Amino acid sequence: MDYEKKELEKLIFKFKEINKLLFLELSDFYDINFKDENSDIVDDVDGDFSKIKFNSFKISSVNINNPVIAAPMAGISDNTYRIFAKYPGCSLTFSEMVTSYGLIYNHAKSFEITKLTDYEKPCAIQIFGNDANVIAEAASLIEENADIIDINMGCPVPKVLKTKSGGYLLNEPETIGKIIKKVKRKIKKPVTVKLRIGWDENKINILGIAKIAEGEGVDAISVHGRTVKQGYSGKADYEYIKKVKSIVNIPVIASGDIDNLNKAKWVMEYTGCDGLMIGRAARGNPWIFLQLLLGLLVSNNNLNIKNYNVKKNIILKKNQYTLLKFANSGEANDFTNGSEANDSLVNLRFLISNNLKADYMLLYLKFLILFKGEGKAVKEFRKILGWAFKGKKDISSIKHEFFKINTFEDAAKILKNLKCS
């Protein structure tokens, strides 16, 4: 990882400052009025909202400050993404999935994925494979840099399944047990697993696998509420996540379709899970972490920062869609049968002004360039920019310009125009 540490520090400072502006913009929507003695709340966290302690829990020795967690996503969860997840409030980040064989055979690309900065931690490095000895050895090679070693046992991507890795392992509960046992004996850092509820609708075996994993000493379990065969089609089934939580005594993190506050609040209450894993909803939408965290805090009417409580006066605005009204109503939407929330919060991204989005995205590109160089960074940025401004009025008329971005200056010009439109 070739970058200037001093330049990274400068960018982190700028990022913390823009996060303070993000907080102020969101707190205006939530209409949170803090008591005068606590008006310096933004300074207390210094632009790093992952410091906020709310429903904290531990994964072995690792403190997880709040329930909002960034899911690992191939081709997305790089250093920049993790920084932009952590500072808006994410309590735990993940690396992209890396092959255990790549680490064993010292492939440069595999090790590049595992390189972290202190600004992304706590961070779990996620590995995959099908051989217990190989996975354990790979884990030992990267243990020093990771806070947690996570083993993927749920990936539905065909090329992963062909290697009998990822979600394929759900067909072999005994192999899952062997892998966890080997890794736990090999390393000292916490070990977690990411699972799905089963191979297909006729083979839903998450409850048995969860007990095997716990029995072999795994420190936490993440469960995506779909089968492997479903991929990302259909709806996540939270009923099985609830059942897993009821039979194990380790943290359980819920995953799948958590893209708005109503669902986040409901999933936590319904399943009793310890954490919420946010994945596809965060693509080009890093502010979702702070939106969800603030919403959960407001709905619970307390905020823990530096071990003291900040009580809030909450005023609901007339003529405004407000998550506070829903969050405090106790209404329970039945997401298990696929129904959706009947409010504006599915579109959380629209709560952020275009001006702030543009500034946020320009800084995102600066981070990408620092870590990857301008040529590679601007190409990756094209899709990220598309995600960030998805749904903006008249965006189709200028979206084609995103794919012509070849330099930082090209991106800066487009973002300037977006601020003006």
Active site residues: 155
d(CA 223, CA 338): 18
Q: Which residues pair with 149 in a beta bridge?
A: 125, 191
Q: Tell me how far the alpha carbon of residue 401 is from its chain's centroid.
A: 29
Q: How would you class 299 by CB atoms within 10 Å of its CB: exposed for 0-12, middle for 13-18, buried for 19 or more?
A: buried
Question: And the tokens for 92?
Answer: 């735990």
Task: Enter the tokens of residue 324.
Answer: 């506070």
Burial 244-263 (b: 16+ CB within 10 A, else e): bbeebebbbbbbbbbbbbbb
Answer yes or no: are the C-beta atoms of 283 and 73 closer than 8 Å: yes
Q: Are strands 32-34 and 312-314 parallel, antiparallel or unpaired?
A: antiparallel
Structure tokens at 396: 């189709």
What are the residues facing 125 on neighbouring strands? 149
Residue reference for tokens 């003695």:
37
